[in-house]
Amino acid sequence: QKDPEFYKFLEENDRTLLNFDDSDSSDEDLHVLPEKLEEASDDDEDDDEEKEKGTKREKFDFITVTLKMVEQWKQAAERHLTPRVFHEITQAFKACVVTAKGDAVGMEPGKFKVIDSTVFNTLVSFCVRDLFRLLQKYLQVKASKNKAKMVLPSSSPFWGKMRLDVKSHLGCTIQLLSCLTEASVGAAVLQHVNTIVPYYLTFPKQCRMLLKQATRLWSTGEETVRVLAFLVLNKICRHKKDVYLNPILKQMYISYVKNSRFTSPNVLPMINFMQRTLTEMYALDTSVSYQHAFIYIRQLAIHLRGAMTVKKKVSCGRFHHWVHIPKILSPSLFAFHLRLVPTVRFYPLRMHCVRALTLLSENTRTFIPVLPFILEIFQEVDFNKKPGRMSNKPINFAVILKLSNANLQEKAFRDGLIDQLYDLTLEYLHSQACMIGFPELALPAVLQLKSFLKDCKVANYCKTIRQLLEKLQENSAYITTKRQKASFGVANREAVEQWEKKVREEGTPLTKYYAHWKKLREKELQLEISGKERLEDLNLPEIKRKKPGEQKEDDKREFKELFEMDSDSEEEGTGSLLVKGLGPNETRYGSALGLRSHICSARELQLLI
């Protein structure tokens, strides 16, 4: 009635739709609630999630990489590398990284999947050894005649075809470095990275990621890995100093401070390596290094001022942990810190600072008067005092900042202190041995050593110091003789410098002695290290001591067995008793009166009988 035309259309096309009652359109039925509502369970949600995962698995149908596929890729690449082959290899390499990192990879899955260890090793080995050699051949990138200038692969006309896949490979290589635990594999990957640095320089984001990873390996990796990581850092910063040197120096310095906070014999070689390599990085750009050094020296000065003002254990300790910093920055302010805690316990800290300033003075040809801080120790310590306790092992001054009260009572403290004073005095005066004013500079040391020999009653200490005194006097006499022949005055600075240069080339008695002493000292340190390692490797048996009561019972039981006399024994008339179970050359004997048993050789037993 309301729409006759539509009604007519239904009659002609689908009459079944017209079979309805008036009740079907009732509004009452539209809003009737069901008697019981259905509740959604967790199982239903899990089923839905599994269905979604199943859908995703169906969507990403992975291709398992086989050894045959890898060999085919290698042959194709060797024959003629094409963008398609390079893409396939890169995607398979990405699958290797996903396998190495596991579930926490954070990378989009590719079309390949690697599940076999042999396939993994073969593919990764090919990618880090040969792939980029073939890529370089394809790109036809010619090396620059100027070795200081690096030619980037982006200059190749074929770069556009390979760019995205190269970028993917570089990112995967960084991810692989972050998850490797085997040092040999990490070293191989880093060697690969070192050869493809120009590719990383093409992509700033990947280059920053690589620098972060290389800094971590430089400060925490195994020895070979640390060296290779440093080579990567140095190579990138040499060619992009304006972009990367400033942040890298900051990160490397922070890593160095963290590692040098706690020093031990095991950590010391690593700290020395970081000192040398970080110094080389600072030498790349002195203007940038000056800014860093200024900030860090100012930071040290603030800590020093706070420590001297408050003089609390916490504030002083905060500064003491920075003892390795002057070996990088070598600030003269450490000379003032030598009197921050002028007690015997902090002599090791003083010696660390003296060595740093001596190194600074020698390398910069700048006079720094640190000799008084060495000679002062001769006056403050009584070397004639008898030790209160015997020491179990020598004190290693190279890895400690302060001594305990127990250390001060040991004989090892004075023995080690004499050796340290000998070394420090020799090292400092050796750095000044060719100066025209050496006799006047060494005079306080000569007088102090003579005074020490006059008062000291310990023969070993006197022998060591007397040898040092003789070398200083010999060098002073040599310099005095040489300068008496000079025809210029003290005010002629150029003539003095030329004279000192000539003396340095010829050598002095002290410099020649120091060179010989240094070789012996290094051999001695190597023997100490190797000897320590051998002792650590030994599984020494543990000696368990018995309680006094248990020991007496064991003695009674032992004596009872010993004194069961054999009437047929040949030694019956002598009153001695042979014991069964001993070797052919030793015998246990005892008297019939019940004396304690002893062990001796058969020859000694005959003499006793």
Per-residue pLDDT at 103: 56
pLDDT tens digits, 211-249: 999 999 998 888 899 999 999 999 999 888 888 999 999
pLDDT band at 52 (very low <50, low <70, confident <90, very high): low
Lowest mean pLDDT among 32-41, 58-67, 440-449: 32-41
Question: How far is it, in rounded angstroms, from Cα 127 to Cα 115?
Answer: 17
SS3 of 572, please?
A: helix
Reply yes or no on whether the pLDDT at 35 is more than 80.
no
Mean pLDDT of 177-202: 89
Length of the chain: 609
Lowest mean pLDDT among 91-105, 110-124, 265-279, 335-349: 335-349
pLDDT band at 466 (very low <50, low <70, confident <90, very high): very high
Per-residue pLDDT at 247: 92
| Per-residue CA distances from 151 to 132, 143, 200 (Å) | 15, 6, 12
DSSP state of 538: -
% helix / strand / coil in the chain, to the nearest 5?
70, 5, 30
pLDDT tens digits, 327-385: 555 433 344 445 555 678 888 888 888 888 888 888 778 888 889 989 999 988 889 88
pLDDT tens digits, 400-423: 888 888 888 888 888 999 999 999
Bridge partner residues of 110 (DSSP):
none
pLDDT tens digits, 66-89: 899 999 999 999 888 899 999 999
Question: How far is it, in rounded angstroms, from Cα 445 to Cα 422?
Answer: 11
pLDDT band at 425 (very low <50, low <70, confident <90, very high): very high
Per-residue pLDDT at 530: 60
- For residue 264, which amino acid is it? S
Residues of the chain with pLDDT > 70, as a percent, come to: 70
Per-residue pLDDT at 86: 92
Per-residue pLDDT at 331: 37
Per-residue pLDDT at 146: 65
Per-residue pLDDT at 43: 47
Per-residue pLDDT at 397: 84
Reply yes or no on whether the pLDDT at 435 is more than 80.
yes
Question: How far is it, in rounded angstroms, from Cα 350 to Cα 400?
Answer: 11
SS3 of 601, please?
A: strand
Residues of the chain with pLDDT > 90, as a percent, come to: 29
Q: Could you identify the residue written with the tokens 């150029």?
A: 494
User: 70: burial class by Cβ within 10 Å (0-12, 13-18, 19+)?
Assistant: buried
* Assigned token pair, 584: 């052919």
Per-residue pLDDT at 290: 83
Reply yes or no on whether the pLDDT at 441 is more than 80.
yes
Mean pLDDT of 554-572: 47
Instruction: Check residues 102 and 378 and name the one with the higher pLDDT.
Output: 378
* Full DSSP string of 224-266: HHHHHHHHHHHHHHHHSIIIIIHHHHHHHHHHHHHHTSS--TT
User: 583: burial class by Cβ within 10 Å (0-12, 13-18, 19+)?
Assistant: exposed
Q: Could you identify the residue written with the tokens 């040290």?
A: 300
Per-residue pLDDT at 26: 41
Average pLDDT, the chain: 76
Question: How far is it, in rounded angstroms, from Cα 333 to Cα 347?
Answer: 17
CB-side exposure of 455: number of CA atoms within 13 Å? 13
Q: Please, are residues 394 and 412 in contact by the beta-carbon 8 Å criterion?
A: yes
Q: Please, are residues 373 and 335 in contact by the beta-carbon 8 Å criterion?
A: yes
- For residue 63, which amino acid is it? I
Per-residue pLDDT at 555: 56
Q: Please, are residues 75 and 68 in contact by the beta-carbon 8 Å criterion?
A: no
Instruction: Check residues 75 and 31 and name the one with the higher pLDDT.
Output: 75
Q: Please, are residues 416 and 423 in contact by the beta-carbon 8 Å criterion?
A: no
Instruction: Check residues 142 and 381 and name the one with the higher pLDDT.
Output: 381
Mean pLDDT of 318-325: 52
Per-residue pLDDT at 16: 66
Mean pLDDT of 391-406: 81
Cβ-count burial 267-282 (b if 16+ within 10 Å, e if not): ebebbebbbebbeebb
SS3 of 35, please?
A: coil
